[in-house]
Structure 1
Amino acid sequence: MGKAKKIKVSKNSSETDTYSSLTEQILEDKTVRAPGRTKTRKRNEEDDEYVDEKLSRKILEQARKQQEDLEDEHGLQRSKKPGKKKAVSLGVAGPSRVTEDKSDSEEDEMSEEDDHHYETVEVDEDDEKALQMFMSKEAPVKRTLADIIMEKITEKQTEIHSQMSDNASVQLQQLDDRVVNMYKSISHILQKYRSGKLPKAFKVIPNLRNWEQILYITEPDFWSAAAVYQATRIFASNLNAKMAQRFFNLILLPRIRDDITEYKRLNFHLYMAIRKALFKPAAFFKGVLLPLCEAGNCTLREAIIMSSILSKNSIPMLHSAAAILKIAEMDYNGANSIFLKTLLDKKYALPYRVVDAVVFHFLKFTTDKRELPVLWHQSLLTFIQRYKEDISSEQKEALMELLRAHSHEQITPEVRRELMNSKCRDVETLEAEMAASGSGSIEMT
């Protein structure tokens, strides 16, 4: 038997022929072999998302030349000088790009519907003189945030001196110089602020225990009107009612009064700040409206602007009822009539206690010999029109006596007609009881 010949097998076309045994051939048939050649695919430049810078510059130059040729051909005058070229940037945002503020839909609130709030309020000189007769001559002393901070420092110093003998560890809360310098730099930002995002260090002030002390460093008296609006948004959202009341009373109210006194109208940003303050109605009434009435020197212009804001915004009934009760019980001045008329005109279902307080408020003027302003008669007419069914028969007779003491040629006849054609609450209650007793006797028979 002759010798077996080795089989010649070619593994790859690029390699030289080699010989392999039968065992190797069997094993190679059972395994997967990699292909001998690899396919490479060339990608076209069309798949690129962006055009090369050099190519885009050439395209723009060619387009500019074609435009110039067309203008020369048709005899058109070029809008720019031939010596200057306009720089074009593709997809690159410059440093002046405006950043969007995603905290609130502020642009929706500052719509064109509120443009009429910029109009100057026309005030009659005769009405203003009539209201000045009822203004308080001794207005309470105006307290600022600086006064309150100094009082706290004085109290803390007194406490320290009283405990020095006991080696107490109580100390004034000293602020780090870096913190003071940071908030002083923020004060410069707030003085020139117009729009955009505020520093994050300012947004965390409501969460601090000594927020009044930190706020005093930022010098709120020199804030811009837009900064006051943004600060009101932040503090009204993050403070409770008691703390928000202090912010409204110490920062917002003095700024509003100063702006109206100086410019004879209210800045739009301050107007929006008052609207934001109404989201905390208890803090607004205790920090803005009631102190304004208690001051006794609220002008007619200030009262008209504030009442217009109250009339155009929704306020819960309980808060408005408490405000009406407080205004009716305090000493009278001309602004009280404007605020009472505005709140009564909202047509709340007021409790009888509030209605009785308003009746007694008007009955106090029965023996007053002064000539009452027209606003007083208008507020009385509004009260009678809205709540004539909620007064008692005794109060109705007392109001008729009041009309004989103080009358207006146009308003008093209308008030008297409303009273004569109304049913008192005790009469309605008596009729309801009689109807109920009558139906009960019929059932018994």
Structure 2
Amino acid sequence: MPGEERPRGEKLKVRAQDRPNFRRNKPERTTHRHGLAEDITNPWKNGVRVKPRGSKRKAHQEEGEEEDGITDNLSKKILREAQAQQAEVEAEAVGEAAALVGAAIDVSGRSVVAAAKKKMDSDDDSDFDDDYSDSGSQWDMEEVEVTEEDEKALAAFMRPSSSTQRTLADIIMEKIRAKQEEGGMAEGALPGEDGLPVVAPRLDPKVLQVYQGVGKLLTRYTTGKVPKAFKIIPKLSNWEEVLFITEPENWSVHACYQATRIFVSSLNSKMAQRFLALVLLPRIRWDIRENKRLHFALFQAMRKAAYKPGAFYKGLLLPLCVEGDCTLREAVIFAAVLKRVSIPVLHSAAALMRIAEMEYAGTNSFFVLQLLDKKYALPYRVVDAMVDHFVRFERDERELPVIWHQSLLTFVQRYKNEIRAEDKAALRSLCKRQQHYQVTPEVFRELDNSRSRGERGEGASAME
């Protein structure tokens, strides 16, 4: 009873009807009235979330961009408009340069504007692709040392220096004088008192002013883009006259390299040959003569010229051999270029035969040695021409230079199986008269331990 004291140790007894029923307060368990497949196929009917929840980080970034006032889409639009404006500015610059030149010059049936757009737009990005540093480094002759004894040995086979070498200015002046004699040009076409080359009166004065300014820029050019007005010169029919206005003899060495790239790639083989012979070759020889070495930019220009093999041989190498006054230093440098470039066999075979048949100069052996050392499969006609080239020195009383003996040994080593039996007998007779204590025994050994042309054995590597 309430109020009564319960003895210690006696448990409190609670009736079942007085106990709280906790199960009645729990919610009843619900069962799915549909399967998982229906949730997947029709999620929106069963209250399943279809759209993913938005990322708080992404929302925060969008809020930050909106506060700054520039979104990604707006940035893309601004960049697109800037590029379009830059393209319009470049097109206007090309049009202005083309308009100046197109008023007076014909571009072989095409307008200067079309030539400028085709050439300028494709070369803008390649102007920075130089193969040399801008620090003005020079290429040193590390492979062959030039000594006074070598120069004296070769001096006996060198012709005396000829008159001043013809340059582009000489060619232009000859054309001007020829037109003056015909009565087609006024006397004022020759250079004036101020020294400016007034060579083409039919050109607009604005054209002369533009290219005189281009010439002044090229005198201090080191790196970067070349003026667009200069790039369209190879597309002009009278490109020699326009190029003369820029005064190529005053260009920097880096400008010579860029000009060689542009003209060799744009002109055909015959016109590229004229550019190399009238502009690049005189500048190379002058640089070697003044500095006793060749600037690396000009060395790279010679390598670029080899992309037109016919123009390279006819515009650089063969004129140097024909003059007969090539110095030892020049021969070593040109031979180094030959060693580093890859030239097709037909062009090299024709050049080798031409050098073998021309009047001998001591430095020619440097070029012969490098061409033979390339191991071309030479035609039999060239092999026979080389045999005649060496045999004609049998009765020469002069002491032949060491480079001549080295070129003979290289020829016998490379083409001993393509030499006829009678030619080998002639070479043995030659070696008995023209001897070198180290080289000649090797030549005899190669001739004695090889088969001749036409004999049975492995197929010859030469071509008919």
Q: Do the two structures share a fold, i.e. TM-score over 0.5?
A: yes
Once the two structures are superposed, what CA deviation does each residue of 1:192-241 show, in whole Å capped at 9, x if it has no partner?
00001111110000011111111111000000000000000000011011
Provide the rounded CA distance (Å) in 1 between the counterparts of 2:401 and 2:140: 27
1:422 to 425, 431, 450: 450
The 3 A distance-change label for structure 1 pair 119 and 396 is: closer
Corresponding residue number in structure 2 for 1:159? 182
Deviation at 1:103, TM superposition (A): 3.2
Once the two structures are superposed, what CA deviation does each residue of 1:403-443 show, in whole Å capped at 9, x if it has no partner?
011000000000010000011003338x99xxxxxxxxxxx
Provide the rounded CA distance (Å) in 1 between the counterparts of 2:127 and 2:215: 25
Corresponding residue number in structure 2 for 1:294? 322
Counterpart residue type for residue 125 of structure 2: S
1:239 to 258, 267, 283: 267
Please say if residues 211 and 246 of structure 2, whose CA atoms lie closer than 8 Å, have aligned partners that are also in contact. Answer: yes
Deviation at 1:47, TM superposition (A): 3.0
Task: Using the TM superposition, name which of 284-293 and 261-270 deviates more.
Answer: 261-270
The 3 A distance-change label for structure 1 pair 213 and 111 is: closer
Provide the rounded CA distance (Å) in 1 between the counterparts of 2:127 and 2:217: 22
> Which runs of 5 or more residues in structure 2 are unaligned?
1-61, 71-122, 186-199, 460-464
**1:104 matched to 2:126:** yes
Corresponding residue number in structure 2 for 1:47? 66
Counterpart residue type for residue 412 of structure 2: I
The 3 A distance-change label for structure 1 pair 277 and 137 is: same
Corresponding residue number in structure 1 for 2:44? none
Counterpart residue type for residue 216 of structure 1: F
Please say if residues 206 and 239 of structure 1, whose CA atoms lie closer than 8 Å, have aligned partners that are also in contact. Answer: yes
Once the two structures are superposed, what CA deviation does each residue of 1:286-317 show, in whole Å capped at 9, x if it has no partner?
00000011111111111111111111111000
Please say if residues 391 and 426 of structure 2, whose CA atoms lie closer than 8 Å, have aligned partners that are also in contact. Answer: yes
1:122 to 119, 123, 145: 145
Counterpart residue type for residue 47 of structure 1: E
Corresponding residue number in structure 2 for 1:205? 233
1:278 to 278, 301, 306: 306
Please say if residues 144 and 250 of structure 1, whose CA atoms lie closer than 8 Å, have aligned partners that are also in contact. Answer: yes
1:217 to 245, 254, 264: 245
Deviation at 1:108, TM superposition (A): 6.4
Corresponding residue number in structure 2 for 1:178? 206
> Which runs of 5 or more residues in structure 1 are unaligned?
1-42, 52-100, 163-171, 433-445
Corresponding residue number in structure 1 for 2:3? none
Once the two structures are superposed, what CA deviation does each residue of 1:24-74 show, in whole Å capped at 9, x if it has no partner?
xxxxxxxxxxxxxxxxxxx845434579xxxxxxxxxxxxxxxxxxxxxxx
Provide the rounded CA distance (Å) in 2 between the counterparts of 1:255 and 1:420: 47
1:409 to 431, 434, 437: 437
Count residues with an aligned counterpart. Answer: 331
1:145 to 158, 163, 168: 168
Deviation at 1:161, TM superposition (A): 6.2
Provide the rounded CA distance (Å) in 1 between the counterparts of 2:277 and 2:391: 31
Provide the rounded CA distance (Å) in 2 between the counterparts of 1:337 and 1:127: 13
Counterpart residue type for residue 151 of structure 1: E
Provide the rounded CA distance (Å) in 2 between the counterparts of 1:218 and 1:46: 54
**1:370 matched to 2:398:** yes
Counterpart residue type for residue 66 of structure 2: D
Mapping of 1:28-107 within 5 angstroms?
A: 44-48=63-67, 102-104=124-126, 106-107=128-129
Deviation at 1:357, TM superposition (A): 0.5
2:215 to 167, 180, 187: 187
Counterpart residue type for residue 131 of structure 2: E
Secondary structure, aligned partner of 1:104: helix
Please say if residues 421 and 452 of structure 2, whose CA atoms lie closer than 8 Å, have aligned partners that are also in contact. Answer: yes
Corresponding residue number in structure 2 for 1:358? 386
Provide the rounded CA distance (Å) in 2 between the counterparts of 1:239 and 1:212: 12
Provide the rounded CA distance (Å) in 1 between the counterparts of 2:165 and 2:248: 16
Secondary structure, aligned partner of 1:196: coil
Provide the rounded CA distance (Å) in 2 between the counterparts of 1:372 and 1:206: 45
Please say if residues 394 and 430 of structure 2, whose CA atoms lie closer than 8 Å, have aligned partners that are also in contact. Answer: yes
Deviation at 1:106, TM superposition (A): 4.8
Mapping of 1:320-339 within 5 angstroms?
A: 320-339=348-367
Secondary structure, aligned partner of 2:342: coil
Please say if residues 127 and 226 of structure 2, whose CA atoms lie closer than 8 Å, have aligned partners that are also in contact. Answer: no
Task: Using the TM superposition, name which of 299-308 and 220-229 deviates more.
Answer: 299-308
Secondary structure, aligned partner of 1:109: coil
TM-score for the superposition, normalised by structure 2: 0.67
The 3 A distance-change label for structure 1 pair 183 and 105 is: closer
Secondary structure, aligned partner of 2:392: helix
Deviation at 1:265, TM superposition (A): 1.2
Corresponding residue number in structure 1 for 2:106? none
Secondary structure, aligned partner of 2:455: helix
Please say if residues 184 and 217 of structure 1, whose CA atoms lie closer than 8 Å, have aligned partners that are also in contact. Answer: yes
Deviation at 1:261, TM superposition (A): 1.1
Counterpart residue type for residue 355 of structure 1: V
TM-score for the superposition, normalised by structure 1: 0.70
